[in-house]
Structure 1
């Protein structure tokens, strides 16, 4: 059996985050998939790369050596993909990128860091704003491209989009909560208990859509735009919530554990993707940024890639 890019990517993610669970969230795969990939990698290398601890994982001496090599391998592959799609000449320029809160806080930073390492000649100018403002800036030509929740995209007449990451929504709750006993929980079950409602990035509006579709309403005790406030209240047993895996972390700031349970009802995923004006003409720098993000989030989980409707025919700007 040969070493795969997936195994290297999963190991690098776990080593950089310090937690298998957090790496799984960022890769949008299960914790068992990350664990299995790392164990296979350790078996083929004949060395332990990570030490498991009560709070996560730490990199061993052998792991630190391989981590450096692993990063170089991933960067080399990214550069090979870039060279296959772009001129071998140095790409330079500025890309004006609009982002919404969730994307800037939980998705883009680590990918941007690697992009800047691979494309030092490209400058990224970030503009964070609510989705409606970002959409208008794209239409007006003030932004080249946006990374936002395409599941919330409104102006589909003037804007084209492409899915990058589909993140499932699940129930967050404290370990002592009664709903931790079943493996899957219905929204009717959730409605019986105090609920903490996140409002940032249109989370409240999205949540009420799927609650209303089932003729249900959560017992909301608190509304907040702070994800950390939600974490603290859920970890402290004050309420439960339904939120995306993308923003999930297993601990609150106070060190209280937060559990996850699957929902038996059909709840829409939170979809992160690229958006741009339909008649936009991309520069080489903008194309490189879009292509790099597509490569960075490429994985094996179901639904992770864009559907054919999202990738085909909307514009030739980033089609590959």
Structure 2
């Protein structure tokens, strides 16, 4: 059987217009060609779909039944084409966005809201990660893109830098350094620090291991989340090296946040796997680039080690 979708469309139009002349005008197709295509459809199906009259056509019993199915077939095809085009253009599909709470609160809501408004057909899942996975799911492929802080220690990623911010030391209010306006990295090297689990570049950065000449840091406690890190610091178990945004978003009366005069800056970034070819991801990164073009002032969002 040789039947194509064009014949379905022609038949539907003739049935709706009840007249070959009006249908040919609506379709912008020559009437003889239209008539031949409908006749060919009837021959292929072995059915009489239309009853011809001098002034038009009416549907046969079989034609009335076939019309509903023909419309459903055309609508399904058109829907599939639309979906494919949207997916190919990065305007539909699925995206899993990971985030570290220490990196996402400032930029993630803005980017996610803007992306949802521009591309409502994309199904976005958002997943939170703690310091046990500082790549926020990118290392094992459980996320497509993530808001995180550098250095995360995962290989094969690309980044869009969103902001930089200074480091501060969060400590119990009774600590001997709590009343200082600022401290130096050297002031902190012999102090117990709150560390993230495991090792690698992330822990090295927040523990200032590049300033220790090979000596081990004093670990007062380990914490896998920012909230537990602050709890340990407030309990006097050690100092949390965090960022200045924490001063605003995580203020608490049992903690002092002291500037570190000579510490490196922390970098907030959007990251994704370098081998990704997803058009949806490209759209998401583009939205994030717009946000990064108008960065929020330092000190107006959360951040943590």
Residue 230 of structure 1, CA deviation: 1.9
| SS of aligned partner of 1:135 | coil
- In structure 1, what is the equivalent of residue 284 of structure 2? 289
Structure 2 gaps, min length 5? 1-85, 299-305
1:221 to 1:300, Cα distance in 2 relative to 1, 3 A:
closer
CA contact (8 A) 1:101 1:201 kept: no
Q: When the two structures are aligned, how many residues end up with a matched partner? A: 203
Residue 272 of structure 1, CA deviation: 2.0
- In structure 1, what is the equivalent of residue 115 of structure 2? 115
- In structure 2, what is the equivalent of residue 266 of structure 1? 263
- Where do residues 24-39 of structure 1 align in structure 2 (5 Å cutoff)? none
In 2, the alpha carbon distance for the partners of 1:164 and 1:105 equals 10
Check if 1:164 corresponds to 2:162.
yes
Residue 248 of structure 1, CA deviation: 5.2
Q: Which has the larger radius of gyration?
A: 2
- In structure 2, what is the equivalent of residue 173 of structure 1? 171
CA contact (8 A) 1:195 1:241 kept: yes
Residue 201 of structure 1, CA deviation: 9.9
| SS of aligned partner of 1:231 | helix
In 2, the alpha carbon distance for the partners of 1:201 and 1:105 equals 23
Residue 242 of structure 1, CA deviation: 0.8
CA contact (8 A) 2:166 2:263 kept: no
**TM-score under structure 1 normalisation?**
0.50
Check if 1:195 corresponds to 2:193.
yes
CA contact (8 A) 1:99 1:126 kept: yes
CA contact (8 A) 1:172 1:242 kept: yes
1:92 to 1:224, Cα distance in 2 relative to 1, 3 A:
same
**Two-structure CA RMSD over aligned residues (Å):** 3.7
- Residue deviations 1:55-105 (CA, integer Å, cap 9, x gap): xxxxxxxxxxxxxxxxxxxxxxxxxxxxxxxx9xx9731242352534686
In 2, the alpha carbon distance for the partners of 1:212 and 1:205 equals 7
Residue 276 of structure 1, CA deviation: 3.3
- Where do residues 1-320 of structure 1 align in structure 2 (5 Å cutoff)? 92-102=91-101, 106=105, 109-111=108-110, 112-126=112-126, 130=133, 131=135, 134-137=138-141, 144-156=144-156, 159-199=157-197, 203-208=202-207, 210-215=208-213, 217-245=216-244, 251=250, 255-278=252-275, 280-283=276-279, 285-297=280-292, 298-299=294-295
Residue 237 of structure 1, CA deviation: 4.0
Residue 270 of structure 1, CA deviation: 3.6
| SS of aligned partner of 1:189 | helix
Which of the pair is proportionally richer in helix?
Answer: 1
- Residue deviations 1:234-256 (CA, integer Å, cap 9, x gap): 2344432212345555647xx53
Residue 164 of structure 1, CA deviation: 1.8
Structure 1 gaps, min length 5? 1-86, 303-320
In 1, the alpha carbon distance for the partners of 2:242 and 2:258 equals 11
In 1, the alpha carbon distance for the partners of 2:254 and 2:250 equals 5
